[in-house]
Amino acid sequence: MLHQQLSSLLAQTDIALTELQQQQLVQYVELLDKWNKAYNLTSVRNPSEMVVKHIMDSLMVAPHLSGKQYIDVGTGPGLPGIVLAIALPDTHFVLLDSLGKRVRFLMQVKHALGLDNVTPVQSRVEDYLPSVKLDGVLSRAFASLQDMVQWCEHLIDNSGRFIALKGQLPEQELDSLPTGVHFEQKISLEVPELDAERHLIILSKD
């Protein structure tokens, strides 16, 4: 049932996934649904809704990532990091969250799905120091652009990007970006069957 739903949603996009990748995404939804009952990982309770609101929403970011090393800050249950790691198996994602129960869930997902390209880490973002040079900081429903830049600026150098997945275009946040950071690009994302605006905001250091 979920597999059919995912296939039909993918058919409405330019994203091509293998049978294995689709199976991994469905398995991830099933794990999220199972663990959600005890761990309260997401307010979305219906697996079919998760496919649209979490899986497809996160997948639409994949075509816009060109680097090989990313960190997903405030990843929660792995959104968008787990989804992107499945879609982009040659790209590595650090999945950062401060809550132990979420990181335990991420370790379980990594093991169950055989994902070698994710590293779940329990830490506050301010305290985390990456061991490799990162191409970008990803966030989805994490914080304002100002807070994201302030908390994460030590994670990337001038060649890295801040990539924020937002709903409506955050005009006010864009108008008051901190010094040393500039707005590079906004991309409107069309998420199949999601009745909401979605934007990808890309910032870089001066």
pLDDT in tens, 32-84: 999 999 999 999 999 999 999 999 999 999 999 999 999 999 999 999 999 99
How far, in Å, CA of 16 to CA of 3, rounded? 14
Which tokens sit at 77? 């249950």
Known binding residues are 74, 79, 125-126, 140
The pLDDT, as a whole number, for residue 5 is 98
CB distance 165 to 139 below 8 Å: yes
The pLDDT, as a whole number, for residue 142 is 84
- Taking 50 as the pLDDT cut, the residues of the chain under it are none
CB distance 186 to 199 below 8 Å: yes
CB distance 24 to 89 below 8 Å: no
DSSP state, residue 176: T
How far, in Å, CA of 176 to CA of 137, rounded? 19
Domain 1-205 CATH (choose: 1.10.3720.10, 3.40.630.30, 3.30.2310.20, 3.40.50.150)? 3.40.50.150
Does the pTM exceed 0.95? yes
The pLDDT, as a whole number, for residue 141 is 83
Known binding residues for S-adenosyl-L-methionine are 74, 79, 125-126, 140
- Measured in degrees and rounded to the nearest 5, phi and psi for residue 2 equal -65, -35
The one-letter amino acid at 112: A
Beta strands 69-73 and 136-140, pairing class = parallel
Provide the residue count of the chain: 206
